Every structure is written in C-alpha cells, then in structure tokens.
Structure 1
Amino acid sequence: MALASFSEARFPLRVAFGSSGGPERRTDIVRLSTGFETRNQRFARSVRHYDAGSGLKSLADLSAVLEFFEAMRGKLIGFRFRDPLDHTSAPLGASVTALDQEIGVGDGATTRFALCKAYGTADSAYSRPIEKPVDGSVLIAQGGVAMATGFTVDATSGIVSFAAPPATGTPITAGFEYDVPVRFDIDQLTINVTAFQAGDIPNIPLIEVRP
C-alpha cells in the first residue's frame, strides 16, 4: 500500500511551542558598476524553517519526537506544525474574530474563497496562503456580519465554500487558527540520552512544504 505524501497529523504541541525558527526569503543581488544594485526575489512565497530540538525539555518529549519521526518515515511524509509565534489570523495576544483577514470580495458568482493572511499594508503587503487551518477554528463574515451557517471549510486546503455566492461588492473576511505544512529535513535522528540529560540538545530541522 502506497503511503500518502502528507499526513494531517500534528507535530507534538508541547515540543512545537518551545521550538525556534521562522520565514526565509531568497533574494539575488547584483552590484552594478555605477554603484547601484538590482534585487530579484527568487521565491514568491517565504519558506519557513524550524529547529524542533530547542523545544525538547524532557525524555518524554524526546520519545514523542522519536515516535513521530518514525511514523512520518523521516523526510518522506509531510505533517502539520504549530508555529509558536505565528499561528492565528489575529495580532499577537488578540482573540480571533471573523473580521481579522479579508479573503475576497463577492462578485455574485464565485462561491469558493481561499484563506489567506496579510502581512504589512498597502502596496508592500504580502498575502500568505493559509492551507492548513485548524479544524473548527474558522470564523466567517460577509459585509462585517458574522455567519453561523451557509458555508463550509476544507481544513486540508483552506478553501471556504459558500452555499450561495456572496453579493457583488461584499467583503468576505475570516478569522482562524492554522498550522504550517512541514517535513523533517533529516533522515536520521542522532540522539545521545546522556548528552541530552547534560544539556546537549539535538538538532531536529523542519522545513515548510507545499502540501
């Protein structure tokens, strides 16, 4: 039986909340003879990297990561990871509301909208696709009015589907919690229990993937 390339299983939360990491950008810079430079963004989307080793606090954590590593077959299978700093649609410390993020504007015909999160404002804003919302966490509003029914959310893709198309010009907003799709960036876990107890924390790199 063939294994799926992505599992909806989540990396152990107690380890994830102590991990380190964040987004990476790739920018090519060419210095011209005039002293000016040209800059080219290699990737349209940032790629997040994490080190789960910094989240290990006990032998129980170590055992949980070992079990999860084996279940994911090392690098083979992707999985969900809770970013300790950036995992909701709301500003840090604020509660999620249905007005947090605009995900589209009704045109009287479209019924499917993709969740996204904006970073920055105006022309410099970056819209990040959110493809792994936490099941049951998504709140939706049309024209500033929260909806209790009339829509469904695919928690495996981040697609919101409405029973009827929103009216033309109606802003569609959403609030949500989400995970980052990642995989292990190693195929071997090297763990020395004695060294771990002495404070030598193993390096367990994770890298964001497209699910």
Structure 2
Amino acid sequence: MAFHEQRFPLRLSLTSSGGPGRQTDIVSLSNGREARNRRWRFSRRRYDVGTAVRSVADLYAVLEFFEARGGQLHGFRFRDPVDFSSARPGEPVTPLDQLIATGDGEAATFQLVKAYGDGSAIERRPVAKPVTGSVRIAVDGVEQTEGFTCDATTGIVTFAPGHVPAEGTEIRAGFEYDVPVRFDTDRIEIDLEAFRAGRIPSIPLIEVTP
C-alpha cells in the first residue's frame, strides 16, 4: 500500500462528520468494580464524508477521488474540520504553540506532536502530515528563521549542523496539519433518484499510520 499526499477536497471535508475513537477493554469484577485496559496508545479517527455531499458535482468529485485512490488501497490526506491546527480554534498559529521536545545538545531530529490535556492528564499525539509551509519553530522562546527543515510527509523536524538545540532548551512548534486516512469501503453505491430526493450516501474514512 502506498500513501498519496493528495488532500481530499477541502470544501467537502469542512462539512463532514466524525472524530476520534478509543478502544478500551472493560471487565466487571465480582466486587462490583471494573478493570479497564487501554488497547490503543493513540486515538483513531473516523469520518463520514457522505454528509458533505450536496450536489451531483460533489458526488462526482468524491467518486473521482475514490477511483484515484483505488478504494481502500491507498491512503490520503484529510483535513479534520475542527482539529487541524497546533493552536486552539479561532487562534492563529504561533511558533510557541506546542512543546515538541527538550534539547540535549546532540539530537537533531524531532517529531511534531500536539498535546491534549485538562491539567490532570496530557496526551501527546504525533503529527505526521503537516501542511507544507505552515511549520514555525522556536528554540527557548525565539523563533528560528533558518537552520531547520520539516518533512511534510513525516512531520520530522531536522536541525542543520551548527543549529542543533543546546541541552535543556525548549523546542516548540506551530503548524497546520492533515489526518492520514483511507476509504473504509471498497464500494460506493449511488441511487441518483434517491440522492436528488435528499438521501446522502455514507462514505466512511478511517485514520491510518502512513
């Protein structure tokens, strides 16, 4: 399976439905309590873009994209309509948005991550598909304008020799990003008469590891 760096049509993703999901094993004990075990390290997101299809032109755009990806065969980029930025909704991206690592004076590569937390717990989600040109980096609170690159296909930031962060320095980043997904079906059925009457088909997507 290959991953195609193309993004699903933005106008359709903005009105899709879906979000993150977890998988938790829950066992009821004889004393009335529960034993819970998290099976997945990170959430896995699912979406349905069928809710975004409003016209025959929209439907054809989805069909064309579906055929180009070979159905479930190839992954692609998808913009989550709510969660697509290192900043909070409505706020601009800044180079101080997310703490991605602390320098040790030797490491030159760092994975982009986004933190989710409520004070009592924090989850750090790796970000593998940043939007090209959107990544901003700061070291110890100072934005870097040179001396680093970010691979838009992996989300890995690499500092050039002479620019490696010193030991104890905070490395922060701001960015926009897409979710790597694939179609979660190999078949799309269309009843055009029913579609014109208002029924919108389900077109499921599921997050993948690119």
Q: How big is the shift at 1:61?
A: 0.9
Q: How big is the shift at 1:176?
A: 0.3
1:166 aligned partner:
165
Q: For residues 122-165 of structure 1, what are the alpha-carbon distances to aligned partners after superposition, in whole Å with 9 as ceiling and x for unaligned?
A: 55100000000001100100001111111000000000001131
1:44 aligned partner:
41
What TM-score results when the alignment is normalised by the length of structure 2?
0.97
Q: 2:166, 2:9 → 1: CA distance?
A: 42
Q: Are 1:85 and 2:78 matched, yes or no?
A: no
Q: Which runs of 4+ in 1 moved over 6 A?
A: none
- 1:155 is paired with a residue whose SS is coil
Deviates more, 1:42-51 or 1:116-125: 116-125
Q: For residues 20-40 of structure 1, what are the alpha-carbon distances to aligned partners after superposition, in whole Å with 9 as ceiling and x for unaligned?
A: 000010011111111111100
Q: Are 1:10 and 2:7 matched, yes or no?
A: yes
- 2:202 is paired with a residue whose SS is coil
Q: For residues 35-72 of structure 1, what are the alpha-carbon distances to aligned partners after superposition, in whole Å with 9 as ceiling and x for unaligned?
A: 11110001111100000101112211111100000000
2:207 aligned partner:
208
2:96 aligned partner:
99
Q: 1:200, 1:73 → 2: CA distance?
A: 25
CA RMSD of aligned residues (A): 0.9
Q: 1:86, 1:195 → 2: CA distance?
A: 32
Q: 1:131, 1:156 → 2: CA distance?
A: 6
Q: For residues 93-120 of structure 1, what are the alpha-carbon distances to aligned partners after superposition, in whole Å with 9 as ceiling and x for unaligned?
A: 1110000000001110010000000000
1:64 aligned partner:
61
What TM-score results when the alignment is normalised by the length of structure 1?
0.96
- 2:18 is paired with a residue whose SS is strand
Q: How big is the shift at 1:196?
A: 1.3
Q: 1:160, 1:123 → 2: CA distance?
A: 29
Q: Are 1:177 and 2:176 matched, yes or no?
A: yes
Q: How big is the shift at 1:121?
A: 4.5
2:132 aligned partner:
135
Deviates more, 1:114-123 or 1:181-190: 114-123
Q: 1:150, 1:196 → 2: CA distance?
A: 53
Q: 1:101, 1:121 → 2: CA distance?
A: 15
1:76 aligned partner:
73
1:144 aligned partner:
141
Gaps of 5+ in 1: none
Aligned residue type for 2:191: N
Residues 16-55 of structure 1: pairs in structure 2 closer than 5 A: 16-55=13-52
- 2:91 is paired with a residue whose SS is coil
Aligned residue type for 1:11: F
Q: 2:126, 2:119 → 1: CA distance?
A: 18
1:113 aligned partner:
110
